[in-house]
């Protein structure tokens, strides 16, 4: 009984992921054509669909890095299956991830292969798999890396549940209004403010 339910859930989640990916590609084309406002470091457009209570909270959820050695170890283990996939995708794209101590994650820049093609298809500059950030360009800006670092923190908290949550939220809300993306943009804005404050101090 459990196996058919798991299979049905996996198929439904895969379908949700496809819908979310198609919506992201469509939104990217609309932004490039000037038919839809883009998302940038200065703020988010008003969501087209009002989020529910849980989605609203997720949109404000910017988890900090684990503060203790035990917390870091637990987060690393919980995210390890996704991180292994991220490393494999980076290597398949011809890049070896390098550790970024400031953001406590691994970053592969200038990725090629399937990852580059997939990012280009949806109009994205980068994506995160587990604790690995995959970047199309050779020199990513700090705002992009800060955004992706929030996804790393999400992976550390949600582990293998993150792709499932992301797929369903993307199917329902699209890319720009996906609460996990709104949280990542909010986290990048906070990081930029902290950087400015440190520079002014």
Domain chopping of the chain, boundaries: 67-201
Distance CA 158, CA 124 (A): 22
pLDDT at residue 45 in the model: 66
Percent of the chain having pLDDT more than 70? 95
| Beta carbons of 101 and 54 less than 8 angstroms apart | no
- pLDDT (average), residues 72-98: 97
Over the chain, what HEC string results? CHHHHHHHHHHHHHHHHHHHHHHHHHHHHHHHCCCCCCCECCECCCCCCCCCHHHHHHHCCCCCCCCCHHHHHHHHHHHHHHHHHHHHHHHHCCCCCEEECCCCEEEECCCCHHHHHHHHHHCCCEEEECCEEEECCCCCCHHHHHHHHHHHHHHHHHCCHHHHHHHHHHHHHCCCCCHHHHHHHHHHHHHHHHHHHHHHC
| Average pLDDT along the chain | 91
- pLDDT (average), residues 168-190: 94
Reply yes or no on whether the pLDDT at 102 is more than 80: yes
Contacts of 98 (CB under 8 A, 6+ apart): 106, 107, 108
Total-model pTM: 0.92
Reply yes or no on whether the pLDDT at 49 is more than 90: no
Least confident of 43-52, 79-88, 118-127: 43-52
pLDDT tens digits, 186-199: 999 999 998 888 88
Q: Of the spans 8-12, 106-110, 112-116, 191-195, which averages the highest pLDDT? A: 106-110
pLDDT at residue 91 in the model: 97
Reply yes or no on whether the pLDDT at 127 is more than 70: yes
Contacts of 73 (CB under 8 A, 6+ apart): none
Q: Give phi and psi for 134, each to the nearest 5.
A: -110, 120
* Beta bridge partner(s), residue 99: 106
Q: 199 or 58: which carries more pLDDT confidence? A: 58
- pLDDT (average), residues 20-27: 92
Reply yes or no on whether the pLDDT at 42 is more than 70: no
Reply yes or no on whether the pLDDT at 1 is more than 70: no
């Amino acid at each position: 009984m459990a196996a058919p339910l798991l299979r049905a859930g996996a198929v439904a989640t895969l379908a949700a992921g496809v819908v979310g990916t198609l919506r992201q590609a469509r939104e990217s084309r609309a932004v490039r054509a000037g038919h839809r406002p883009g998302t940038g470091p200065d703020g988010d457009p008003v969501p087209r669909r009002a989020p529910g209570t849980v989605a609203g909270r997720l949109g404000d959820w910017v988890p900090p890095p684990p503060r203790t050695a035990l917390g870091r170890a637990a987060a690393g283990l919980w995210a390890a299956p996704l991180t292994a996939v991220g490393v494999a995708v980076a290597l398949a794209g011809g890049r070896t991830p390098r550790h970024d101590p400031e953001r406590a994650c691994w970053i592969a820049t200038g990725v090629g292969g399937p990852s580059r093609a997939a990012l280009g298809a949806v109009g994205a500059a980068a994506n995160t798999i587990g604790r690995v950030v995959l970047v199309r360009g050779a020199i990513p800006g700090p705002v992009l890396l800060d955004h992706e670092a929030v996804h790393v923190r999400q992976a550390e908290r949600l582990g293998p549940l993150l792709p499932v949550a992301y797929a369903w939220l993307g199917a329902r809300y699209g890319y720009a209004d996906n609460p996990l993306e709104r949280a990542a943009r909010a986290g990048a804005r906070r990081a930029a403010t902290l950087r400015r404050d440190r520079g002014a101090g």
